[in-house]
Every structure is written in structure tokens, then in C-alpha cells.
Amino acid sequence: MNINKVTLYEVVLPLKVPFRTHRGLLKERPVIIVEIEDIEGTTGYGEVTAFPTPFYTAETINTGWHMIKDVIIPSLSFEMLNEPSDFPEQVAFIQGNQMAKAGFEGALWDVYAKQRGLSLSKLIGGVREEVEAGAVLSLTNQITRDVNKLLSEGYKRFKLKVEKGKEEEMIASVKDVYPDLPIMFDANGMYDVHDIERIKSFDSLGLLMIEQPFRAGDFYLHQQLQDRMDTPICLDESVQSFDDAVQAITLKSCQVINIKISRVGGLTEAIKIHDYCKSHNIPVWCGGMVETGISKAHNIALSSLPDFVYPGDLSSSTRYFDKDVIEPFIEVQHGGITVPTSNGIGFSLNKEYLDQLMGKKYEYHL
């Protein structure tokens, strides 16, 4: 791939409104942007979407910076990187740190697609010209207002963040106004074995699915719950690798899997999971991380693959931010997002705006 330079940017984007889950409040969004340049000057971009604290996975924005700068870059044999799928093998000795790996590999995929004159979607075998947009609603007292706004923009699926003990109340606040709205809720692992009977009662709510009821890695309780209820269980945090997906499907722990590029360690692994799910008739959808347009662009390409049958957490550039770091902005039109056809991820980086947001920068020259 003839890589010549790697640059890391840590930036902090102000959120339009705070994003709240039962695990905490996010008032601003720090991310790491990975820029990789080849000897011809072609640049590609990836994004490390870890949060400031380890409430979602063990990683944080600080561990991501450390892993790329001090472990991944020094360990790579850049001359042996002929394509992005060579990268996972070279970093396989690193346990975990999936988001750091995914951010770096994402930049490799963008460069590689541009070198071949292809869009990222086309390069990985995407079949869709448009992907459907789904919205995530944080814990708020303005759910109905937010749904009204998103419906006017055409969003096709709604995921609620809920509080334990208030699930029916929060879902009813939407269903009373829009009884046919496709709704799911994200539990983020807040339940335990004592909640199984209560969760079973949610069958009566007519939900599209329930995402990650139990803690990450507990395939047994998810299997027990899925065996006892009709509502599909979707796994998120539990699936951090291809092997996790195989285990979940083999044990019948779910009927749906949410694939997040950052959570599974990169696009190479995400594609493997997609292909395995497709061969076992398990539908998938693409999850989001309150990320910038760089990650969104990678997610759009991934969602163009055939087994992404549910609308993903795919939203416009201005869903969370007044201004994105990419040009042009991503737009939702009539509930869909056009899959870019230009080379790579299909968007460029607004370097002037990036400079305004930047906290620190690191350059590595080969």
C-alpha cells in the first residue's frame, strides 16, 4: 500500500444537546481521527470512537491514543501491508482494544479504495444505492417532540434508551401517539437473571427487538431469555469478534446482531460477521457510536451489504453536531442516505474546522 505517513488528531466536538443513557451523560464528543497517507499523497481516514470513560467497553479515548501511538504503529511491518485485511493479522497479538484497531484499519480501507479508484461500498461488495436511516433517542423528557422531528425527516426506525422500571411508560409515551411506529429499546446490559420474567412481559409491547438485555459475554442468559419470548433479542456489546458471533448463533442467544465496526475491531471482521450471519439467516443492522461523519461514512458502506435488513443507527451529520468534520455533510432524505459512489468513503476532511477542534496531534513518518 506504500504508506508514507500516519497522523493522529484528537478532537472534541460540542454536542447540540447532551446525550443521556442510564450509564451517564455525554456533553461533548471526543474522538481520534486517524489519517494515513501513501507515497503519492493519497489520504484515508478512520475514527476511534471510544468514549472518555469505559462505560461501553473497556477502552477509552486515552487508551486508544496510547495503543495506536505506542503499540500499533511501532509493531507494524508497513511494507507487508498489501491490503487492509493484512492489518488484523499483524495486530492479532494485541488483546482487545478493538476500537483502536478499527480506527486505524478504517483509514487503511479508505486509502486502499482510493488507490483502486473505487468507492468503499463497491470495494467490499455493497449492493445498495441507498441505506435506510434509523435514530437513537437518548433519555429525555422530550421523546415525543424528538420523534415528531425525526419522523418529519423520514427516519425509518427508532431506538429508545430506557431506564429500568420505566420501560413501559417510556415506550407508551411514543406508542400512544404513534401506535405503528417501529420501536426497539437498548438495555445496554442493565438487567440480570432476576429480571427474566419482567423482560418476558415486554412481548406485549410489540417491539421490533430488545437490544443487549444482559451484560456483555453472557450468552447463556440471552439464550434462556430468547427461548422464552417471541420478541427478537439483539446482541450488541456481547459480540466483539467473529468468534463471539459464531458462539451467539450456535447457542441461539439471539435472533438479530448489531454490527459496529469499532466494537468488532474493524471492517475486515465486520464483513466476516455479516457473511456468517447471512449464511445462517440472522439479520443484522449497523450500530452507531455518536460519531463524526468519518465513522458514519464507513458505516454507510458497510450497511450497503445485503444482510443489513434493518435500518441502522445511520443519521445525518447534523443529528448530534451543528457542524461535522467532513465535507459535504451526510444528509437524510425521505428516510434514506445515498451511498457515495466517489472513491474511498466519499467525503473529505474539513481541515480548517479540524484545527479549531484539535486538542493534540501526532505524526509518524516512515
Residues annotated as catalytic (active site), given as ranges: 161, 260
- Look-up: residue for cell 450497511? 303
Backbone CA torsion sign across 191, 192, 193, 194: negative
Task: State how far the alpha carbon of 345 is from the alpha carbons of 86, 123, 222, in Å.
Answer: 19, 10, 35
Answer for the pair 46, 103: CB distance below 8 angstroms, yes or no.
yes
Q: Bridge-partner residues for 337, per DSSP?
A: 131
CA distance 177 to 148: 10
Beta strands 358-365 and 3-21: pairing type? Answer: antiparallel
CA distance 146 to 136: 10
Whether residue 84 has a cis bond before it, omega within 30° of 0: no
Whether residue 328 has a cis bond before it, omega within 30° of 0: yes
Nearest CA among 330, 327, 329 for reference residue 314 = 330
Give the chain's radius of gyration (CA, Å). 20
CB-neighbour burial class of residue 301 (10 A; exposed 0-12, middle 13-18, buried 19+): buried
What does the block give as the cell for 159? 431506538
Alpha helices in 181-260 (DSSP H): 196-200, 219-228, 242-250
Q: What is the DSSP letter of 32?
A: E
